[in-house]
Amino acid sequence: MKDKIKNKPVNWVGVFTLFSKETRRFFKVYQQTILAPAFTSLIFFWVISIAIGSRVNYQFDYINFLAPGLVIMTMMQNSFANTSSSILGSKMQGNIVDLLMPPLNSHEIIFAYVAAATTRSFLVGIITFLVIYPFTTLVLKYIFILVIYSFLGAIFLALLGLLAGIWSEKFDNMSGITNFIISPLTFLSGTFYTIERLPEPFYSISLFNPFYYIIDGFRCSFIEYVQQNLVYGISYITVLNIIMYIVCYKLLNKGWMLKA
Protein backbone atom coordinates (compact mmCIF):
# COMPACT_ATOMS: atom_id res chain seq x y z
CA MET A 1 0.00 0.00 0.00
CA LYS A 2 1.83 3.07 -1.22
CA ASP A 3 1.33 6.31 0.63
CA LYS A 4 -1.37 8.14 -1.30
CA ILE A 5 -1.25 11.36 0.72
CA LYS A 6 2.26 12.64 0.31
CA ASN A 7 2.70 16.37 0.82
CA LYS A 8 -0.84 16.64 2.17
CA PRO A 9 -1.99 17.56 5.67
CA VAL A 10 -2.81 14.81 8.13
CA ASN A 11 -6.24 13.28 7.58
CA TRP A 12 -7.37 13.77 11.16
CA VAL A 13 -10.97 12.86 10.32
CA GLY A 14 -9.84 9.51 8.95
CA VAL A 15 -7.48 8.92 11.87
CA PHE A 16 -10.20 9.66 14.40
CA THR A 17 -12.69 7.46 12.51
CA LEU A 18 -10.30 4.49 12.56
CA PHE A 19 -9.45 5.16 16.21
CA SER A 20 -13.16 5.36 17.06
CA LYS A 21 -13.85 2.11 15.21
CA GLU A 22 -11.08 0.34 17.14
CA THR A 23 -12.16 1.64 20.54
CA ARG A 24 -15.80 0.77 19.88
CA ARG A 25 -14.70 -2.72 18.89
CA PHE A 26 -13.17 -3.48 22.29
CA PHE A 27 -15.79 -1.52 24.25
CA LYS A 28 -18.50 -3.67 22.67
CA VAL A 29 -17.12 -6.70 24.53
CA TYR A 30 -15.74 -4.83 27.54
CA GLN A 31 -16.33 -7.80 29.84
CA GLN A 32 -13.77 -9.75 27.82
CA THR A 33 -11.37 -6.98 26.80
CA ILE A 34 -11.27 -4.76 29.90
CA LEU A 35 -12.76 -6.44 32.96
CA ALA A 36 -11.58 -10.02 32.44
CA PRO A 37 -7.83 -9.19 32.25
CA ALA A 38 -8.07 -7.20 35.48
CA PHE A 39 -9.68 -10.02 37.41
CA THR A 40 -7.29 -12.58 35.90
CA SER A 41 -4.43 -10.48 37.25
CA LEU A 42 -6.14 -10.34 40.64
CA ILE A 43 -6.30 -14.14 40.71
CA PHE A 44 -2.60 -14.32 39.79
CA PHE A 45 -1.90 -11.87 42.59
CA TRP A 46 -3.83 -13.87 45.17
CA VAL A 47 -2.39 -17.24 44.18
CA ILE A 48 1.24 -16.12 44.00
CA SER A 49 1.13 -13.99 47.13
CA ILE A 50 -0.49 -16.77 49.15
CA ALA A 51 1.65 -19.58 47.72
CA ILE A 52 5.11 -18.02 47.87
CA GLY A 53 4.77 -14.53 49.32
CA SER A 54 5.77 -15.53 52.85
CA ARG A 55 8.73 -17.57 51.58
CA VAL A 56 10.39 -14.76 49.60
CA ASN A 57 13.12 -12.95 51.46
CA TYR A 58 13.49 -9.46 49.95
CA GLN A 59 14.42 -6.16 51.59
CA PHE A 60 10.96 -4.89 50.62
CA ASP A 61 7.40 -6.15 50.89
CA TYR A 62 6.95 -8.81 48.20
CA ILE A 63 3.27 -7.95 47.81
CA ASN A 64 4.17 -4.38 46.85
CA PHE A 65 6.84 -5.76 44.50
CA LEU A 66 4.43 -8.12 42.76
CA ALA A 67 1.45 -5.82 42.26
CA PRO A 68 3.00 -3.17 39.93
CA GLY A 69 4.56 -5.91 37.80
CA LEU A 70 1.18 -7.56 37.29
CA VAL A 71 -0.44 -4.22 36.44
CA ILE A 72 2.04 -3.26 33.71
CA MET A 73 2.23 -6.84 32.41
CA THR A 74 -1.55 -6.86 31.96
CA MET A 75 -1.38 -3.49 30.22
CA MET A 76 1.24 -4.72 27.76
CA GLN A 77 -0.55 -7.98 26.99
CA ASN A 78 -3.78 -6.15 26.18
CA SER A 79 -2.02 -3.58 24.04
CA PHE A 80 -0.56 -6.43 21.99
CA ALA A 81 -3.90 -8.24 21.83
CA ASN A 82 -5.76 -5.18 20.59
CA THR A 83 -3.73 -4.50 17.46
CA SER A 84 -2.91 -8.11 16.62
CA SER A 85 -6.51 -9.36 16.92
CA SER A 86 -7.89 -6.44 14.93
CA ILE A 87 -5.55 -6.82 11.96
CA LEU A 88 -5.74 -10.62 11.89
CA GLY A 89 -9.52 -10.56 12.35
CA SER A 90 -9.90 -8.23 9.37
CA LYS A 91 -7.71 -10.49 7.25
CA MET A 92 -9.60 -13.63 8.24
CA GLN A 93 -12.99 -12.02 7.61
CA GLY A 94 -11.88 -10.60 4.26
CA ASN A 95 -12.60 -6.96 5.13
CA ILE A 96 -8.99 -5.79 5.28
CA VAL A 97 -9.78 -3.84 2.11
CA ASP A 98 -11.70 -1.43 4.34
CA LEU A 99 -8.32 -0.47 5.79
CA LEU A 100 -6.44 -0.32 2.48
CA MET A 101 -8.92 1.65 0.38
CA PRO A 102 -9.69 4.79 2.47
CA PRO A 103 -7.46 7.87 2.01
CA LEU A 104 -5.20 7.04 4.96
CA ASN A 105 -1.45 6.75 4.70
CA SER A 106 0.66 4.30 6.68
CA HIS A 107 1.58 6.84 9.37
CA GLU A 108 -2.08 7.61 10.03
CA ILE A 109 -3.05 3.93 10.19
CA ILE A 110 -0.28 3.16 12.68
CA PHE A 111 -1.15 6.18 14.80
CA ALA A 112 -4.85 5.23 15.00
CA TYR A 113 -4.18 1.59 15.87
CA VAL A 114 -1.52 2.41 18.46
CA ALA A 115 -3.69 5.10 20.04
CA ALA A 116 -6.61 2.67 20.37
CA ALA A 117 -4.37 -0.07 21.81
CA THR A 118 -2.86 2.40 24.28
CA THR A 119 -6.33 3.50 25.34
CA ARG A 120 -7.35 -0.08 26.06
CA SER A 121 -4.03 -0.68 27.82
CA PHE A 122 -4.53 2.25 30.19
CA LEU A 123 -8.15 1.35 30.93
CA VAL A 124 -7.13 -2.21 31.79
CA GLY A 125 -4.22 -0.90 33.85
CA ILE A 126 -6.41 1.45 35.89
CA ILE A 127 -8.99 -1.24 36.64
CA THR A 128 -6.29 -3.81 37.45
CA PHE A 129 -4.66 -1.39 39.87
CA LEU A 130 -7.99 -0.59 41.51
CA VAL A 131 -8.84 -4.26 42.16
CA ILE A 132 -5.34 -5.11 43.46
CA TYR A 133 -4.64 -1.93 45.44
CA PRO A 134 -6.79 -2.79 48.52
CA PHE A 135 -4.49 -5.77 49.18
CA THR A 136 -1.29 -3.69 49.08
CA THR A 137 0.25 -0.63 50.72
CA LEU A 138 1.43 0.93 47.46
CA VAL A 139 2.15 4.66 47.30
CA LEU A 140 2.81 6.40 43.98
CA LYS A 141 6.09 8.31 44.31
CA TYR A 142 7.20 9.17 40.78
CA ILE A 143 4.30 9.89 38.46
CA PHE A 144 6.56 10.94 35.56
CA ILE A 145 8.33 7.56 35.59
CA LEU A 146 4.96 5.80 35.80
CA VAL A 147 3.54 7.66 32.81
CA ILE A 148 6.57 7.39 30.55
CA TYR A 149 7.08 3.67 31.11
CA SER A 150 3.35 3.03 30.73
CA PHE A 151 3.30 4.81 27.38
CA LEU A 152 6.53 3.26 26.13
CA GLY A 153 5.38 -0.23 27.12
CA ALA A 154 1.91 0.14 25.61
CA ILE A 155 3.29 1.58 22.37
CA PHE A 156 5.95 -1.13 22.04
CA LEU A 157 3.44 -3.95 22.45
CA ALA A 158 0.92 -2.22 20.18
CA LEU A 159 3.54 -2.01 17.41
CA LEU A 160 4.60 -5.60 18.05
CA GLY A 161 0.95 -6.67 17.84
CA LEU A 162 0.51 -4.72 14.61
CA LEU A 163 3.52 -6.50 13.14
CA ALA A 164 2.25 -9.88 14.34
CA GLY A 165 -1.18 -9.21 12.85
CA ILE A 166 0.32 -8.25 9.48
CA TRP A 167 2.51 -11.36 9.38
CA SER A 168 -0.07 -13.89 10.61
CA GLU A 169 -2.28 -15.62 8.08
CA LYS A 170 -4.37 -17.59 10.57
CA PHE A 171 -4.95 -17.84 14.30
CA ASP A 172 -2.43 -20.68 14.56
CA ASN A 173 0.31 -18.23 13.54
CA MET A 174 -0.80 -15.79 16.23
CA SER A 175 -0.87 -18.55 18.83
CA GLY A 176 2.70 -19.41 17.87
CA ILE A 177 3.82 -15.83 18.41
CA THR A 178 2.04 -15.68 21.76
CA ASN A 179 3.36 -19.02 22.98
CA PHE A 180 6.94 -18.79 21.73
CA ILE A 181 7.67 -15.06 21.97
CA ILE A 182 5.26 -13.15 24.22
CA SER A 183 4.93 -15.76 26.99
CA PRO A 184 8.69 -16.44 27.37
CA LEU A 185 9.44 -12.71 27.39
CA THR A 186 6.75 -12.25 30.04
CA PHE A 187 8.04 -14.97 32.37
CA LEU A 188 11.66 -13.83 31.98
CA SER A 189 10.75 -10.22 32.71
CA GLY A 190 11.13 -10.16 36.47
CA THR A 191 7.40 -9.75 37.08
CA PHE A 192 7.38 -12.32 39.88
CA TYR A 193 11.00 -12.14 41.05
CA THR A 194 14.23 -10.16 40.82
CA ILE A 195 16.27 -11.38 37.87
CA GLU A 196 19.42 -11.57 40.00
CA ARG A 197 18.05 -14.91 41.20
CA LEU A 198 18.06 -16.36 37.70
CA PRO A 199 20.88 -18.74 36.73
CA GLU A 200 22.83 -18.29 33.52
CA PRO A 201 22.04 -18.08 30.65
CA PHE A 202 18.58 -16.84 31.67
CA TYR A 203 19.97 -13.86 33.58
CA SER A 204 21.92 -12.62 30.54
CA ILE A 205 18.94 -13.23 28.26
CA SER A 206 16.75 -11.17 30.59
CA LEU A 207 19.08 -8.18 30.19
CA PHE A 208 18.05 -7.99 26.51
CA ASN A 209 14.36 -8.45 27.29
CA PRO A 210 12.43 -5.18 26.72
CA PHE A 211 9.63 -6.43 28.99
CA TYR A 212 12.09 -6.48 31.87
CA TYR A 213 13.01 -2.80 31.53
CA ILE A 214 9.38 -1.72 31.18
CA ILE A 215 8.31 -3.64 34.30
CA ASP A 216 11.39 -2.56 36.25
CA GLY A 217 10.80 1.12 35.49
CA PHE A 218 7.07 0.96 36.16
CA ARG A 219 7.63 -0.78 39.50
CA CYS A 220 10.21 1.83 40.52
CA SER A 221 7.52 4.53 40.46
CA PHE A 222 5.91 2.81 43.45
CA ILE A 223 8.55 1.08 45.55
CA GLU A 224 11.74 2.96 44.62
CA TYR A 225 13.46 -0.32 43.82
CA VAL A 226 15.15 -0.47 40.45
CA GLN A 227 17.48 -3.16 39.12
CA GLN A 228 18.73 -1.26 36.06
CA ASN A 229 19.40 2.36 35.13
CA LEU A 230 16.10 4.09 34.33
CA VAL A 231 17.57 6.33 31.64
CA TYR A 232 19.07 3.30 29.91
CA GLY A 233 15.71 1.54 30.08
CA ILE A 234 13.87 4.51 28.57
CA SER A 235 16.49 4.84 25.83
CA TYR A 236 16.42 1.12 25.04
CA ILE A 237 12.62 0.94 24.75
CA THR A 238 12.50 4.18 22.74
CA VAL A 239 15.00 2.83 20.21
CA LEU A 240 13.03 -0.41 19.92
CA ASN A 241 9.81 1.56 19.40
CA ILE A 242 11.41 3.55 16.60
CA ILE A 243 12.66 0.37 14.93
CA MET A 244 9.26 -1.30 15.29
CA TYR A 245 7.53 1.79 13.90
CA ILE A 246 9.78 1.86 10.83
CA VAL A 247 9.23 -1.85 10.19
CA CYS A 248 5.43 -1.50 10.50
CA TYR A 249 5.49 1.53 8.23
CA LYS A 250 7.48 -0.26 5.53
CA LEU A 251 5.25 -3.32 5.62
CA LEU A 252 2.03 -1.31 5.52
CA ASN A 253 3.38 0.84 2.74
CA LYS A 254 4.07 -2.23 0.62
CA GLY A 255 0.84 -3.98 1.62
CA TRP A 256 2.92 -7.03 2.62
CA MET A 257 0.71 -9.99 3.63
CA LEU A 258 -2.33 -7.72 3.38
CA LYS A 259 -3.19 -7.81 -0.29
CA ALA A 260 -4.67 -10.95 -1.78
Distance, in Å, from the CA atom of 52 to the CA atom of 39, rounded to the nearest integer, reads 20
**pLDDT tens digits, the chain, 260 residues: what are they?**
445 445 578 889 999 999 999 999 999 999 999 999 999 999 999 988 887 766 666 667 888 889 999 999 999 999 999 999 999 998 888 888 888 788 889 999 999 999 999 999 999 999 999 999 999 999 999 999 999 999 999 999 999 999 999 999 888 899 899 999 998 888 888 888 888 878 888 888 888 999 999 999 999 999 877 777 889 999 999 999 999 999 999 999 888 888 65
pLDDT tens string 127-177: 999 999 999 999 999 999 999 999 999 999 999 999 999 999 888 899 899
Helices and strands in the chain: count of H runs, count of E runs:
12, 0
Amino acid residing at 166: I
pLDDT in tens, 227-249: 778 899 999 999 999 999 999 99
Q: What residues does each domain of the chain span? A: 12-254
Buried/exposed 124-140: b ≥16 CB within 10 Å, e otherwise: bbebbbebbeeebebee
Angstrom distance (rounded) from CA 229 to CA 232: 5
Q: What is the pTM of this model?
A: 0.91
Other Cβ atoms closer than 10 A to 54: 9
Instruction: Calculate the alpha carbon distances from 181 to 11, 51, 133, 150, 209 in Å.
Output: 35, 27, 30, 21, 11
